[in-house]
Homo-oligomer: A and B are copies of this chain.
Amino acid sequence: MPTAAIAVIGDEILSGKYADENAPFLIGRLRAIGCDLRRIVTLPDEPEVLADELRRLLGFDHVLTSGGVGPTHDDRTFEGVAGALGVPLELHPGLLALLDRSGLAQTETNRRMCLVPRGAELVYGRSRFPVVRARNVWVFPGVPSLLRKKFDDVAEHFAGVPISTARRVTSGRELDVSAGLTAVSARFPGVAIGSYPRWDGDGTRERELVLTLESRDEAALAAAVAAIDDLLAAG
């Protein structure tokens, strides 16, 4: 299964001026197409920080960035990506041509939007407006409606084998089953088991316990579910 990391970029998210909608959208989409999301980082508009942090994510199959692209002084994502990859920024002929086709003048500001890491490719997917990919870093805009559209244009590049899941809800307390859960988890290493207590609104009483099971191996999943059912019946 392919792995991915998301970098949400922008001082406006860290300072709470805007709530990030893009990571929640991407989490759901990546899961649906079988891509294993391993990290999300939310970063300020500082090229050196971006370079350091993005460099650490390059070991995942795909790095998806959100935000920090555009014509203003606080749009520093491409500088950060270039720093992470150790390449300079260059005017991309395909993006310059796109300016012309879009009827935008080649002002300094507009040309700035065509400065991308050397070697970057334009991935068109299903749209006539491309997504910029530099090595394995896919650069998406921060505006949620634009990001959603562009992600769906190129989503097939991230697809893997979807996971099978199961879920049990019990009225028991987590403490009463945790030893049993640890044992079941050890018996089925290919099945990821999660345990999530739900509390009353005022946080004083455990209302119920949600158990989740996930695996790409359906037989192992079924066996682990049976073991959990036995555990809950015994409790």
- A residues near B (Cβ < 8 Å) are 8, 11-19, 23-24, 27-28, 30-31, 37-44, 70-74, 104, 107-110, 143, 145-146, 148-149, 163, 174-175, 178-179, 181-182, 185-186, 192-203, 212, 214
- Contact A109:B73 (CB < 8 A) given known A15-B37, A37-B15, A203-B143: no
Contact A193 B27 (CB under 8 A): no
Contact A194 B11 (CB under 8 A): yes
Contact B37 A14 (CB under 8 A): yes
Nearest CB in chain B: distance from A136 CB, A: 18
Nearest CB in chain B: distance from A53 CB, A: 8
- Contact A39:B42 (CB < 8 A) given known A15-B31, A17-B194, A72-B174: yes
State the majority secondary structure of interface residues on A: mixed
Residues of chain B contacted by A196 (CB below 8 angstroms): 12, 17-18
7 closest A-B pairs by beta carbon, nearest first, are: A145-B203, A40-B42, A71-B178, A73-B182, A16-B27, A16-B31, A72-B195
Residues of chain B contacted by A107 (CB below 8 angstroms): 179
Cα distance A193–B12 when bound, in Å? 10
Cα distance A117–B196 when bound, in Å? 24
Cα distance A195–B45 when bound, in Å? 12
Nearest CB in chain B: distance from A23 CB, A: 8
